[in-house]
Structure 1
Amino acid sequence: MITLFTAQPGLAQQQDVSAASPALQAEENDADRADIVVTARRREESLADVPISITALGSADLVARAVVTDADLQRTVPGLTIRQTQGNNSLTYSLRGQSADIFSGSPSAVVTYLNEVPMPVAGSSSFFDLASVQVLKGPQGTLFGRNATGGAVLFTSAKPTNELEGFVRGRLGNYDRRELEGALNVPIVDDKVLLRGAFNLSYADGFIENRYTGEDLGRINRESARLSLTLKPAPGVINTTVAQYANSRGTNTGASYTYSVYGCGETNNGFALSCSAGLLFGPSLDSVLGPGAWAAYLAANPKAYAPGLIAYVEEQRRLGQYVTNHPSGADHFGETWNVSNTAEIEFGDRLRLRNIFGFVDAYTDSQQPQLGAPYATILTANAAVGQFGNIEDIRSYSEELQLQGETADGALEFIVGLYIQRQRARSLYPQTYFDLRPNAGFPTYALNHFRIKNYTDAVYAQGTYNLEQIGIPRLSVTAGLRYTRERVRGLQLAGSDNFGAPEQRRTYEDPSWEAGLEYKASPDLLFYLKTRGSFRSGGYNGTLDPVGIVALGGSNFFRSETTQDIEGGVNFSGRAFGGPASFSLAVFNQWIQDVQRVEFPDPDGPAGPLASIAFTTNVPSERVRGIEAEGAVMPAEWLRVGGQLALTDADFTDNQVVLFGSTYSYGPVGDTPRASGTGWAEFSLPMAPNTGEVMLRGEVYAQTGQYFSNAADSIAPRTRLPGYALVNGRLSWNDIMGSNFSAALFGDNLLDEEYFVGGMQLAVALGHNGAVVGRPRTYGLEVTLRY
């Protein structure tokens, strides 16, 4: 029987079959769990030896669990939240209470990597022909390119092999889903020159009806291709180059559900709430502009909801989650190039030199619905200057040199390295506020256009010493240190409302460290205890007027965020209940200082030029503690069951910030459900010999509610999203009648649960909040041919 067994805290990938077919990986993974290899510490080692909390998926598990985009990872990784702030093409990874706010200049708290090269996360991408996905939780800094306070997500593409092989996979589903992907592996020169090409084409209609424009939101049109070349010119020398291109078009779902609006005079825990949008878009407009103003607006805008924006909250509930009335465009375009080159030279059996070069060029242009009501309270457009859509243009070069090895007696394993990255990010944000035409004086236009350059330089070293060499069996100690300097330069560009200020510069530098103990109780059982420290570099607030903010005693720059944690855990990978089994448990306590969060202060009054700016500031301190567990067991040849659970308690322990004489209070921590988890089961149905394998898989993902604001207890109430549960299923027939064909029926959200996956908090800026809806029931047919 061939089954996949990868729901464990490690990478389900054999060292010698990392690019093999999913069926072959499944067969060998079940045969010997001790052979599972992980790379979480930048070297290949057995799963049972890894002292870190990891969730990982092999290539076959990615297919079986229908993980085809970033958003799908949330239901496969306990504690991971893929927050959608402005919809399906505006994503932020959140782990252990650590994320980056919308409109923030903060680096990501959870850094993603493709083939060990850091890459930006902007919109949902397609996953295709991957060997694995690993999610490392907690502070990362000693071994990876960019410092991170929350974690790291490692995507590894399938490498070329010495076999002529490939596959083609097609999917058809509701919402006119059409997807085609495939790969071809060609050994040009036997075990010397190996080539692999892969592609993915994904198309689907939108699932949100915009009654205002007649356009469907959530439409997908993604096209991606990858070419990988491995050269082995001499024994012990390997060079692999991977070039990937992707473009994405369609329409953004946006925060298209009108979630909450504040009325004038409302307070929350003693904090006065902003009410500008509710005041101006309703009959109360007459009290501001004079009698007849609202009637004039309705006459010029017949699709507007006459009772006003505050009343529209109830109308939105009546319409439901998949109907919106956004009065403008929602077009999305994205284009990304990724290139990596990894060169490895073996010096005998105990020393290896590695060089990793990376290049990323990413461009997006998106019009983002930020409220679903039929009023132009805010648009990502500026008709006065002919700009429509937020533009992000990022280019990055990175270079990493590593020396890995071990001492002659094998007691010490070490890695030392140098990391350099140069990144340039250009942002252009056109804005329209309060389009109340034909009333005089409206709308108000704004344009932010700025560039941020980041120069990162780091040196690091880490080693693990087996104390058995000095008479203490089964115990190892690990220590690592990294020192990073990040130089940040911010410049206002032509067209910006703030253009003319000179370039501003700031340097941030800090150490990152790790120390831990690992006790190998048996070949299958590991206990560990570790402590880590890392930081997230400070940065530049590009949306601020540099001259005006300095005149008011402020600065365009915010401080670095620092963190420390303690984590203890146990990893088991062996046999239980008569079959293969795996289990992991991690308990952690993390402290964060100078937490980077966005605020919308009003430094010079509601009519001043700096009103309602997005401003990254530093909240004094936060604490996050929790438990993460994963397990799987195969008690019979025909049955595998497993589950994952994350319990997270995150609080701002010192939550007040004073900006321009006003006190702002933070809490609860956003984007962090207190509980989330998945339970699943796979049944292998009895079949006659040589007819293939029929597998039925069922899965339930559930989470408690979460906030999409970090200030719900003060100035942003009614920003809590309810919890939900999703039921997913898959019925597959592999190797049909002994052929190379496989087929599957799949379905996600089978009970058609209506739920939310994020939100746009504009409580202080405008007095309203929009939510992002999750996907409705989707289902379809998948057919695969391997050759």
Structure 2
Amino acid sequence: MRIKAALALGSSLAIAYGSPALAQASSDAATNRAPQAEEIGSSSEIIVTARRREESLSRVPISVSAFSQESLNNKSVTSIAQVAQSTPGLTFGNSGGTTNPQVVIRGQSRANIGDAAQPVLTYFQDVPLPYIASIIPTYDLASLQVLKGPQGTLFGRNSTSGALLVYSKEPTYNLEGYLMGGYGNYDRRQAEGAINVPIIDGKLALRVAGQRIKRDGYTKVVNQGGLRRDDINDTAFRISLLAEPTDFIRNVTVFDYFKMNRSGDGGILNYVYPDPIPERNPGLNTFYDCGTSPDCDIDLALARQQAAGPRKTYSNEVHQIKALVTGLSNTTTVNLGSITLKNIFGLRLAKSSTTNDSDATTMKLIVADQNQNIKQTSDEFQIQGDFFDHKLSTILGAFYLKSKPNGPQGLTLATFYSLASPSVIMAHRTQTSKALFGQATYDFSDLVQGLKLDLGVRHTWDETQACAGGYPANNPFVPKSTPQTTLAQCVNGTSLTVNGTPTFVKGALTEDKSAAWTWNVGLNYQASDAIFLYATLRRGYRSGGVNAPLFNPLAPNSLAPFQSYAPETVTDIELGAKTHWQVAGMRGTLNLDVFRGRYKGSQRGINGLNGFDGDGNSSNDPSAGTIIVNAGNATVQGFDIDATISPTGGLTIGGFASYNDAKYTSTGIPPLFNTPTFAAFPTTTKDTAFPYAPALTLGANVTYEAMLPDDLGSLVFNADVFRSSRVYFGPFKNDKTLSQAAYAVVNTRIDWRDIGGSSVDVGFFARNLFNKLYRAGAANSASSAGFNSVFYAEPRMYGVDVKISF
């Protein structure tokens, strides 16, 4: 779509849907207060911080979805991933595992393994989270905001397709809090609470909140005594301190802690590719074709799995998923009148240890044993200005981030076939990102009432260094038992004893540097109290990086040309309209955006490359059998639309639709990765799928609140319906076995609030009410291995919780 045509379309749609509405005041005050988002359709103002200052959602020139803690509770949301069923254009991928979820907006996702830059970043208290264990529990939140499109000229790290902003509730000067307990099926037990303590009125306040959730798994491991996977065993707490020593200095410090100790994700053997055929590797059935037992025959293993059904699995390993994440954020704001100084410091420690039997059989096909431990430090300084009687608003900033190993860090991987020796690939990475950015907004209301212009620019410098080496693992492979190198040993080389034999390890240092200018140009127009229009043109950037370890340049199928990969860039145009209306006592909203992004050097992961180079040396195979490559150029275009209507007091009906047309326009994948005996990635644009990016998602919601007589309280009913078109888990469009066909789920909840005039609430909930069976992702998406395996989403989950506020 040409730019002029797109502008005309966006404007006409906005005018067509516009009608009189209640005017809502917008606050442009620069602040670090956590925004208190309200439910769509409520009479309260919806405040967001998409542009690093508090603004009305209805007047922000960017596509944003916002949720308050109340709206999350109404939908029984217990994880950020569940927000996707209430947000147009947002999906979550499960291939990265529980501790490493993939956030997908506008067709862009990160490789399921490795530490490539993320196209969608998650922020907590304005601090970007690391690429591993980027998990934020959804308790005691002030708001959760979903930003769509390239981000970077205003804050934090670059991202090419969006950001999630999560803010916890800040301390207040009131003594208050709550306690909540819940119980549900699969023996789900949940305890949660918060207390707010004013220490010095108007000067110092403390808030402490925490959550504990434990639930049995819903996938049984048949050959391990019925051990359950897909369980929950999480502990989290936050301590927040507010200090306002003067009337112009404000400081908020938040310490957060999250610990996960689960039995792992329940993979299910899903499909064995015909063998031999030209598109697949014929080796699998050669090695596992005993014809006598599913313990040594892949076809018999698949038949056994199909007979057992999707909630039962088989395995030769004991899974585990352990994560410990701690963080410290400190935000200081100094208000000097027309100038505001703001500094955001962040420290994130993320430690993850997982053992995953990706093949989901009693044979040792793929067993990944991953240990990661990183320390990330970041700081962002802003100077915000407000000049010429509020006509000019500016922000200038500098950003710095460094991520490095925090002790032994690496990956242990057993190779695909038992005839090849398992190996350990250690990859100690240090990443540094620096940036200068600025944006200005000028109000041209003296010329055209309601017209504003936005101009933003950013320059970023990124650097990645990786010291990586490989050596044989224990054979037979025993997770957690293979010696690991330290960073110093990787650099200098060392001798480790493996199976009683000294093994020399010499690390190889690789590095990559990239830099880019990004920018934003936008116009927004408050056409009337009812209609807000905007158009924005943006340039986004995702840094390049390195693949590890050092590849053999003399191998028959050498991967040396792919030792590093280049940055990904996007030029994006977005047109939007936000409207509010009120007619005959009814009120409603309608928001629409249309977009088109052109991606160059699209970064994609290629899986299943163990043994690919053909040199017979597993120690120089790619870490986890995966490399990141620049797959070519792509175009993503579509629209998001959401609307609400409140026909009577207490009743709100809403809905949304999101359409994404994502396709490659050229390919950078050489035929090397798709040969008669090996297929890891399509070589034609028409055959290439965008993982976890459905073309169409739809949603609908009904909320009704009724007051009960005789001060008995109120009843609140909430129901959500979500539908997704087909979702691909791998890169091949013609591989329907590695996908999920269109599906729909229904979630419901009913609350009895303020029972008998007290501060007690009781809620009953059911997620996936009709127990829809659908796949959530791939455990093994490397179809070149000769098989694939999948994860299934949660079955029906129901329960009750009781909350006491004080």
Do the two structures share a fold, i.e. TM-score over 0.5?
A: yes
Alignment-derived partner of residue 522 in structure 2: 516
Inter-partner Cα distance in structure 1 for 2:25 and 2:804: 25
Inter-partner Cα distance in structure 2 for 1:661 and 1:641: 49
Inter-partner Cα distance in structure 2 for 1:73 and 1:31: 19
Alignment-derived partner of residue 371 in structure 1: 359
Inter-partner Cα distance in structure 2 for 1:12 and 1:527: 15
Secondary structure of the residue aligned to 1:148 is coil
Deviation at 1:408, TM superposition (A): 2.7
Structure 2: which amino acid aligns with 1:561?
A: E
Inter-partner Cα distance in structure 2 for 1:445 and 1:698: 50
The C-alpha deviation readout for 1:688-712, integer Å capped at 9, x for no partner, is: 0421110111111110111111234
Alignment-derived partner of residue 334 in structure 1: 323
Alignment-derived partner of residue 4 in structure 1: none
Inter-partner Cα distance in structure 1 for 2:194 and 2:25: 22
How do 1:465-544 and structure 2 match up within 5 A?
465-469=442-446, 471-492=447-468, 495=485, 499-544=505-550
Pairwise CA RMSD: 2.8
How do 1:49-128 and structure 2 match up within 5 A?
49-85=59-95, 87-120=97-130, 122-123=132-133, 125-128=136-139
Any conservation in 1 of the 2:99–2:352 contact (CA below 8 Å)? no
2:310 paired with 1:321: yes
Secondary structure of the residue aligned to 2:445 is helix
2:711 paired with 1:690: yes
Inter-partner Cα distance in structure 2 for 1:738 and 1:192: 33
Any conservation in 2 of the 1:510–1:535 contact (CA below 8 Å)? yes
Structure 2: which amino acid aligns with 1:172?
A: Y
Which residue among 328, 335, 350 is the counterpart of 1:346? 335
Which residue among 218, 224, 241 is the counterpart of 1:207? 218
Inter-partner Cα distance in structure 2 for 1:345 and 1:498: 55
Residues 630 and 551 of structure 1, relative CA distance in 2, 3 Å threshold: closer
Residues 369 and 81 of structure 1, relative CA distance in 2, 3 Å threshold: farther
Inter-partner Cα distance in structure 2 for 1:483 and 1:545: 32
Any conservation in 2 of the 1:544–1:615 contact (CA below 8 Å)? no
Alignment-derived partner of residue 438 in structure 2: 461
Alignment-derived partner of residue 251 in structure 2: 239
Any conservation in 2 of the 1:581–1:633 contact (CA below 8 Å)? yes
Deviation at 1:468, TM superposition (A): 1.8
How do 1:566-605 and structure 2 match up within 5 A?
566-576=573-583, 578-600=585-607, 604-605=613-614
Secondary structure of the residue aligned to 2:81 is helix
Any conservation in 1 of the 2:580–2:589 contact (CA below 8 Å)? yes
Residues 446 and 717 of structure 1, relative CA distance in 2, 3 Å threshold: farther
Alignment-derived partner of residue 220 in structure 1: 232
Structure 1: which amino acid aligns with 2:466?
A: G
Q: Mean alpha-carbon deviation: is it higher for 82-91 or for 178-187?
A: 82-91
Residues 747 and 122 of structure 1, relative CA distance in 2, 3 Å threshold: farther
Any conservation in 2 of the 1:14–1:37 contact (CA below 8 Å)? no
Any conservation in 2 of the 1:48–1:523 contact (CA below 8 Å)? no
Secondary structure of the residue aligned to 1:326 is coil
Alignment-derived partner of residue 160 in structure 1: 171
Structure 2: which amino acid aligns with 1:273?
A: R
Structure 2: which amino acid aligns with 1:488?
A: T
Deviation at 1:543, TM superposition (A): 4.6
Inter-partner Cα distance in structure 2 for 1:569 and 1:761: 39
Any conservation in 1 of the 2:36–2:142 contact (CA below 8 Å)? no
Any conservation in 2 of the 1:277–1:377 contact (CA below 8 Å)? no
Any conservation in 2 of the 1:678–1:700 contact (CA below 8 Å)? yes
Deviation at 1:546, TM superposition (A): 6.7
Deviation at 1:86, TM superposition (A): 5.1
Inter-partner Cα distance in structure 2 for 1:103 and 1:614: 7
Structure 2: which amino acid aligns with 1:475?
A: L
Deviation at 1:158, TM superposition (A): 0.3
Residues 166 and 11 of structure 1, relative CA distance in 2, 3 Å threshold: farther
The C-alpha deviation readout for 1:95-151, integer Å capped at 9, x for no partner, is: 101111122431111000000000135455521110000000111111121111110
Inter-partner Cα distance in structure 2 for 1:322 and 1:87: 18
Any conservation in 2 of the 1:342–1:356 contact (CA below 8 Å)? yes
Secondary structure of the residue aligned to 1:233 is coil
Residues 14 and 506 of structure 1, relative CA distance in 2, 3 Å threshold: closer
Secondary structure of the residue aligned to 2:234 is strand
How do 1:609-628 and structure 2 match up within 5 A?
609=618, 613-628=625-640
Which residue among 633, 648, 669 is the counterpart of 2:645? 633
Which residue among 271, 275, 285 is the counterpart of 1:278? 285
Secondary structure of the residue aligned to 2:286 is helix
Residues 782 and 419 of structure 1, relative CA distance in 2, 3 Å threshold: same
The C-alpha deviation readout for 1:617-649, integer Å capped at 9, x for no partner, is: 101101111111111121101311101211111
Residues 676 and 432 of structure 1, relative CA distance in 2, 3 Å threshold: same
Alignment-derived partner of residue 358 in structure 1: 346
TM-score by length of 2: 0.86
TM-score by length of 1: 0.88
Deviation at 1:49, TM superposition (A): 1.6
Any conservation in 2 of the 1:192–1:232 contact (CA below 8 Å)? yes
Inter-partner Cα distance in structure 1 for 2:352 and 2:42: 45
Secondary structure of the residue aligned to 1:372 is coil
Deviation at 1:734, TM superposition (A): 0.7
Any conservation in 1 of the 2:359–2:780 contact (CA below 8 Å)? no
Structure 1 segments of 4+ aligned residues over 6 angstroms from their partners: 10-22, 546-552
The C-alpha deviation readout for 1:286-316, integer Å capped at 9, x for no partner, is: xxxxxxxx66xx5xxxxx356x313543443
Inter-partner Cα distance in structure 2 for 1:561 and 1:463: 26
Any conservation in 1 of the 2:513–2:545 contact (CA below 8 Å)? no
Which residue among 565, 569, 574 is the counterpart of 1:562? 569
Inter-partner Cα distance in structure 1 for 2:251 and 2:526: 35
Inter-partner Cα distance in structure 1 for 2:467 and 2:25: 42
2:720 paired with 1:709: no
Structure 2: which amino acid aligns with 1:339?
A: L
Any conservation in 2 of the 1:91–1:121 contact (CA below 8 Å)? no
Secondary structure of the residue aligned to 1:694 is strand
Q: Mean alpha-carbon deviation: is it higher for 760-769 or for 51-60?
A: 760-769
The C-alpha deviation readout for 1:504-550, integer Å capped at 9, x for no partner, is: 22210001111011010123421111111111000111255477689
Inter-partner Cα distance in structure 1 for 2:162 and 2:394: 22
Secondary structure of the residue aligned to 1:636 is coil
Alignment-derived partner of residue 424 in structure 2: 447
Percent identity for Structure 1 against Structure 2: 27
Deviation at 1:443, TM superposition (A): 5.8
Unaligned regions of 5+ residues in structure 1, if any?
1-9, 284-293, 299-303, 381-388, 437-441
Secondary structure of the residue aligned to 2:602 is strand
Residues 239 and 638 of structure 1, relative CA distance in 2, 3 Å threshold: closer
Inter-partner Cα distance in structure 1 for 2:436 and 2:262: 42
Structure 1: which amino acid aligns with 2:642?
A: E
Which residue among 733, 750, 773 is the counterpart of 1:731? 750
Residues 98 and 174 of structure 1, relative CA distance in 2, 3 Å threshold: same
Q: Mean alpha-carbon deviation: is it higher for 647-656 or for 220-229?
A: 647-656
Any conservation in 1 of the 2:230–2:264 contact (CA below 8 Å)? yes
Any conservation in 1 of the 2:541–2:570 contact (CA below 8 Å)? yes
Which residue among 415, 418, 436 is the counterpart of 1:433? 415
Count of aligned positions: 734
2:378 paired with 1:402: no
Alignment-derived partner of residue 289 in structure 1: none
Unaligned regions of 5+ residues in structure 2, if any?
1-23, 470-483, 491-502, 676-681
Secondary structure of the residue aligned to 1:522 is coil
Deviation at 1:371, TM superposition (A): 2.1
Q: Mean alpha-carbon deviation: is it higher for 667-676 or for 116-125?
A: 116-125
How do 1:134-213 and structure 2 match up within 5 A?
134-213=145-224
Any conservation in 1 of the 2:91–2:105 contact (CA below 8 Å)? yes
Alignment-derived partner of residue 6 in structure 1: none
Any conservation in 2 of the 1:516–1:528 contact (CA below 8 Å)? yes
Inter-partner Cα distance in structure 1 for 2:731 and 2:25: 34
Any conservation in 1 of the 2:729–2:781 contact (CA below 8 Å)? no
